[in-house]
Structure 1
Amino acid sequence: MGIREQGFLRRAATNAGFVTRANAHSNIQFVSEAEASVHFCMFHSDLHEHMNMGVYFVVCDAGGSTTDTTAYYVKQTYPTLELDETKASACVQAGGVSVDAEFHQYLCSILDQIDLSEDQRNEFIRSGEEFRINLGGGRSMNYPNLHISRGKLALTNDTISSFFNESVEIAIESIRQQMDKGCEHVLLVGGFGESLYLRKMVNSHFSGARCSITVTSDPNAKAVADGSVLWCAKRTVVSRATRMAYGSRSLPPTIAIMLITVAGKPIVSKDTVMEANEALRGEYHRSYDNSNPALGNFSVTLYGYKGAGSNTNTWKIENSCLEKGFEEVCQIQADLSGMRKGLKKQKGTKGKYYRLDFKVAIQFGDTEMKAFLEWEHGGKTFTGPAEILPNELSVTTV
């Protein structure tokens, strides 16, 4: 779930009256399905007994329509368990819905070849039973070439496995791509993860002397829902990888949050692992012609790159259009009125003026992006709030 979706859900909760705009960020917190699943597996399996320092493992949450995989590294085990993401998680279109679609397509191809009314055809699609489907034609309905005998359609093992193969292959490849730093455990959870066939295929591909497959011991529990509660109490994951490269087109090249420096090297690239409290800072200033000005509001647009290839693409904007692969992620906005004591008297070519220096700090390493302001006064560092507005909620820059 990205910043847009998080913003949409927060706004929905605010509009519904569950929270106010003032406490929406503190009272609503987001956790990825992978992180929730990790905490779930710690509680519902013996996985915690194998979490030694330096261990790499992969979580595969195979659900109804998507399969999410994330790789983790055990950073420490004492006094508390701490995990780092090793790269950005992957989300692929594979799951139980795809299996249902494959079966539906197969069944329709069979029903198209036998003499049934439209109502009968639709009823059979809705109320079929596993493995042997009663087509209601009685003992007189026989189509040996279609495996229909006495009104019942028999499905072979090969036919059944064909419904699963595409989704299983996609899920297995997604797991494999997360293993580039090694893997000692694969955690398989989710609704589609309950499939014995998927478990068998994952086990046959990855199980061995150096990799074990872990499934949950409670098939009735919901890995994400239950794991989210455990996540709130434990907070085991302390570092996360950026899902895309980030930067701003309007900052000078010395700013750390630029995607591209003068030398063309990426600073905040995809898969950059950052701790939750780690921040990247960009320096800004405002100039005023008197000592008691209206400081106003500040806004900067943050862009992301998640196209193909490396993260070393340079910004290219023509007629306000971004180069392919780039997108406007959000605006970071803040009220500068609380920084009045940070004004400093300066002398320029046109006489005296007052300058306000401050930094915008952005945190990418938590479950959601965060930002705040920093400024200096009297030898001390002060901080102030900044609001992140997803692009569909952004307003005109002040």
Structure 2
Amino acid sequence: MQKYLESTLRKAELDAADVEFYTKTGVKDFESYAKRTFQSKTAEYAVLVADSRFNKPDIKTRRGRMTVPGSVIQKCFDTCITEIKQSVDRQMSGLKIPHVLLVGGLGENGYVRNELKKHYETRGSKIVLSDESSAKAVADGAVIWGASCSVVSRAPRYSFGIHQQAQYRPLIDDPAGRKPYTTLAGKVRVDGGWSEIVHKGKAIDLGTVYRQTYHFLYDTPTPRRFQVKLVTYSGDDKPEWLKDPRGKYLNGFRSVCTLTANLQDAQRAMTMRTNSSGSKYWALSFSVCVRFSGTELESFLEWKENGVERTGPVLIVLPREQSLD
């Protein structure tokens, strides 16, 4: 509105000082009256820019009041409303929000209320209005306190998982250049498979652990440690592979952290097995876990030693808010 008033007053060939003074007067009056009462672009609204002696018919100003078309005011509102929607939509992404609290001077306008109602109430989020004078003073604190107590789930912006061996399929893997090998268990496998633990955009409940169980094979019953790289995927699908035949990450994949566990005293966690050729090997069952702690995604390893559950160090897999919506 300030730009419109300023450009219109300049058309009247006024002094720069007068243009500045009348513009400030008009903006102040607009904030107090037209901004609150605007309803339709088809109506006209009077904005006080000067005293009653000021008359400029060529800019539709009589007795100090400039007539402003409703279409001009609507453009001002629509710019603000669009920015509000975009900001709120980003914050609500992936969440089910039953109520949206509307406070502040802009929220007192009926046009703004109706536009926000049309946008959000059709999605199941009811616009809650407050006309009390005290509402503005406590709005920030109330929303922050309520949010800190009520956030129960978040939606990750990436899928999380790890690399895994895949069953060898000669007709598919040979043409693709994936080289087969035989594991300690005597099974033929190829590298580069993708094992998803948490899918992108799927809400993760606060405190709930999401896990997938895997097996490591060793040729000794006394390994010192094992480690697993946690990987993110930015796509929306569930691909079969995370690496190409040369061992490089495919587009959309990247390693975010390495989860480790000390196995020096974990002999009881190992299970001895024998393959078809009679060779002995040892297997360790473990889970890769992902948990939403309230502000970050955390990941850790989990396994059992003689029936007792053990966990490795907990790591924040991405900086705060980078991995969540």
TM-score (structure 1 length as normaliser): 0.48
Q: Give the 3-state SS of the residue equivalent to 2:128 in structure 1.
A: strand
1:146 maps to a residue whose letter is I
Which ranges in structure 2 are unaligned for 5 or more consecutive residues?
31-46, 168-191, 321-325
The aligned counterpart of 1:129 is: 28
The aligned counterpart of 1:75 is: none
The aligned counterpart of 1:187 is: 100
Q: In 1, distance between residues paired with 2:203 and 2:83?
A: 26
Q: In 1, distance between residues paired with 2:83 and 2:193?
A: 31
- Deviation by residue 1:207-265 (Cα, 9 ceiling, x = unmatched): 79x99642245422444533333455xx4454x352434134634469xxx9976xxxx
Q: In 2, distance between residues paired with 1:161 and 1:139?
A: 29
Deviates more, 1:111-120 or 1:194-203: 111-120
- Written as runs of structure 1 = structure 2, the 5 A alignment for 1:258-297 is 268-282=198-212, 283=214, 285=216, 287=218, 291=222, 293=224, 295=225
- Deviation by residue 1:85-106 (Cα, 9 ceiling, x = unmatched): xxxxxxxxxxxxxxxxxx3553
1:164 maps to a residue whose letter is F
C-alpha contact (below 8 Å) 2:23/2:49 kept by paired residues:
no
2:60 maps to a residue whose letter is H
Q: In 2, distance between residues paired with 1:151 and 1:186?
A: 43
The aligned counterpart of 1:381 is: 309
1:302 has 2:215 as partner:
no
1:159 maps to a residue whose letter is V
Q: Could you tell me which of 113, 125, 137 is aligned with 1:199? A: 113
The aligned counterpart of 2:37 is: none
1:337 maps to a residue whose letter is N
Displacement of 1:361 after TM fit?
0.3
Using CA pairs under 8 Å that are at least 6 residues apart, name the structure with larger relative contact order, 1 or 2. 1
Q: In 2, distance between residues paired with 1:284 and 1:113?
A: 79
Displacement of 1:379 after TM fit?
1.5
Deviates more, 1:312-321 or 1:106-115: 312-321
The aligned counterpart of 1:332 is: 257
The aligned counterpart of 1:250 is: 163
Q: Cα 1:243–1:372, aligned 2, differ >3 Å: closer, same or farther? A: closer
The aligned counterpart of 1:361 is: 289
Q: In 2, distance between residues paired with 1:361 and 1:313?
A: 20
The aligned counterpart of 2:8 is: 110
Q: In 2, distance between residues paired with 1:231 and 1:237?
A: 6
Q: In 2, distance between residues paired with 1:214 and 1:251?
A: 49
Displacement of 1:376 after TM fit?
0.9
- Written as runs of structure 1 = structure 2, the 5 A alignment for 1:216-255 is 216=130, 218-230=134-146, 232=148, 235-238=149-152, 240=153, 242-248=155-161, 250-252=163-165
Q: Give the 3-state SS of the residue equivalent to 1:277 in structure 2.
A: coil
1:331 maps to a residue whose letter is V
- Deviation by residue 1:321-358 (Cα, 9 ceiling, x = unmatched): 864xx475x72344423774256375789x87776543
The aligned counterpart of 2:270 is: 344
Q: In 2, distance between residues paired with 1:321 and 1:109?
A: 56
Q: Which has the larger radius of gyration?
A: 2
Sequence identity of aligned pairs in percent? Answer: 17
Displacement of 1:287 after TM fit?
4.7
1:162 has 2:162 as partner:
no
Displacement of 1:388 after TM fit?
1.6
Q: Cα 1:146–1:248, aligned 2, differ >3 Å: closer, same or farther? A: farther
Q: In 1, distance between residues paired with 2:201 and 2:100?
A: 21
Displacement of 1:363 after TM fit?
1.9
Q: In 1, distance between residues paired with 2:84 and 2:231?
A: 32
Aligned residues between the structures: 263
Q: CA RMSD in A?
A: 5.1
2:29 maps to a residue whose letter is E
Deviates more, 1:216-225 or 1:370-379: 216-225
C-alpha contact (below 8 Å) 1:246/1:305 kept by paired residues:
yes
Q: In 2, distance between residues paired with 1:241 and 1:359?
A: 22
- Written as runs of structure 1 = structure 2, the 5 A alignment for 1:308-327 is 311-312=237-238, 323=251, 326=252
C-alpha contact (below 8 Å) 1:275/1:365 kept by paired residues:
no
Q: In 1, distance between residues paired with 2:263 and 2:161?
A: 25
